[in-house]
């Protein structure tokens, strides 16, 4: 974990509290154009950390640098549109159809209809959705289809960075393997800086280059996946790695 020059996200002494501190003194540098996975037990602050990146939450101490700069005070919306975000549990808008959900931002950006349509087609193909689902409302889609749609929505504007909060958790193991394949194709295709939150260490090892282990109110270990696997920093990390062996 060196060279903050090619890091896309840098945390410096970051702490965040709601009632109690979720974590304090987090120093992190996530590599650009690669996939970082954040793992840790439920409630350790993974989602919170992710939301500090796109400034949905603000740190109570320390600073967060994203895409080579601080989080801007003005023009937050433009900043956030450069960061695709797939929320834990898909979070599609129930009053919009699949294609309306996916294309909402592009339409607000006044993209040409043809361009929007082409991009939707491209993304659907990438994640394995078919166009006959275009006009279905979210409740008419399977959980897996909803997650894929959430992924497409996050990718729609060709963002500089992608934040994925347990995007595959609601998907059955067989389908999940398919989607891993699609995700890898996607990474090969678009090469976006990706931060992936997951419970599943196997998923992290398969999809990520860089691994962040959280727990006990902070970051336990962070480094290249191979590095962490070969020399776990604590028993806790070792147990975590073994859970997915």
Partner 1 sequence: MNRVVGATLAVARLRQCKVSFGRHENARAFSKRARRARRDGTSPSPTTLALIWAVVAASSAIAADEPIVVASKNFTEAYILGEALAQLLENEGFEVDRKIGLGGTKICYDALVEGDVDVYVEYTGTIAEAIKDIDGEPTREKIAAALAPDSVEMLGDFGFNNTYALAVPRQVADERGLARISDLPDHPDLRMAVSHEFLERPDGWPGLQRLYGIEEVPAGIEHALAYEALADGSIDLTDAYSTDGELKRYDLEVLADDRGFFPVYLAVPLVRVDLDARAKSVLRRVAGTLDDAEMSDLNAAAVFGGRSTESIAASYLVDKGLLGTDADADVALPQDSLVGRLSRNTGRHLFLVAAAVLPATLVAVGLALAIFKLPWFSRGAVYIAGLMQTIPSIALLALLIPLVGIGWLPAVIALFLYALLPILRNAVTALTSIEPTLRRVAVAMGLKPAEELRHVFVPLAMPSIVAGVRTATVICIGTATLAAFIGAGGLGDPIVKGLALNDTRLILEGAIPAALLAVVTELVFEQVERWLVPGHLRSSNTAAATG
Ligand X SMILES: Nc1ncnc2c1ncn2[C@@H]1O[C@H](COP(=O)(O)OP(=O)(O)OP(=O)(O)O)[C@@H](O)[C@H]1O
| Residues of this chain that bind partner 1 (CB under 8 A) | 51, 54, 56, 76-81, 83, 85, 87-89, 91, 93-96, 104-105, 108, 137, 139, 153
SS3 state at 164: strand
In the complex, the smallest distance separating the C-beta of residue 57 from ligand X, rounded to whole angstroms, is: 8
**Is 47 among the residues that bind Mg ion (CB under 5 A)?**
yes
| Interface stretch with Mg ion, choices 85-93, 124-132, 167-175, 215-223 (CB under 5 A) | 85-93
In the complex, the smallest distance separating the C-beta of residue 68 from ligand X, rounded to whole angstroms, is: 25
In the complex, the smallest distance separating the C-beta of residue 183 from Mg ion, rounded to whole angstroms, is: 19
Q: Which is nearer to partner 1, 34 or 80 (CB)?
A: 80
What DSSP character marks residue 133?
Answer: G
Let me know: does 206 contact 45? Beta carbons within 8 Å.
no
Strand order, beta sheet including 69-70:
21-31, 7-17, 61-66, 69-70
Whole-angstrom distance, CA of residue 238 vs CA of residue 69: 35
The dihedral built from the CA positions of residue 110, 113, 119 and 121, taken in this order, carries a sign that is: positive
76 phi and psi angles, rounded to 5 deg: -55, -35
Q: Which is nearer to ligand X, 16 or 153 (CB)?
A: 16
In the complex, the smallest distance separating the C-beta of residue 190 from partner 1, rounded to whole angstroms, is: 18
Picked from Mg ion, partner 1, ligand X, none, the partner binding residue 89 (CB below 5 to 8 A depending on kind) is: partner 1
């Amino acid at each position: 974990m060196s060279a903050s020059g090619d890091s896309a996200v840098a945390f410096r002494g970051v702490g965040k509290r709601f009632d109690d501190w979720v974590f304090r003194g987090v120093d992190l540098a996530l590599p650009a154009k690669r996939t970082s996975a954040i793992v840790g037990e439920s409630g350790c602050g993974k989602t919170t950390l992710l939301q500090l990146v796109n400034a949905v939450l603000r740190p109570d101490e320390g600073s967060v640098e994203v895409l080579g700069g601080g989080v801007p005070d003005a023009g937050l919306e433009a900043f956030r549109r450069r960061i695709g975000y797939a929320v834990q549990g898909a979070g599609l808008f129930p009053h919009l159809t699949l294609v309306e959900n996916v294309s909402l931002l592009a339409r607000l950006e006044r993209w040409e209809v043809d361009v929007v349509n082409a991009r939707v087609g491209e993304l659907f193909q990438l994640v394995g959705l078919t166009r006959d689902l275009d006009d279905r409302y979210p409740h008419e889609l399977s959980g897996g289809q909803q997650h894929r749609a959430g992924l497409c929505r996050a990718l729609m504007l060709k963002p500089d960075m992608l934040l994925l909060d347990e995007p595959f958790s609601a998907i059955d193991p067989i389908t999940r393997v398919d989607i891993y394949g699609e995700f890898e194709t996607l990474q090969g295709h678009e090469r976006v800086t990706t931060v992936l939150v997951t419970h599943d260490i196997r998923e992290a090892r398969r999809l990520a280059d860089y691994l962040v282990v959280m727990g006990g109110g902070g970051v336990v270990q962070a480094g290249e996946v191979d590095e962490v696997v070969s020399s776990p920093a604590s028993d806790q990390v070792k147990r975590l790695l073994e859970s997915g062996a």
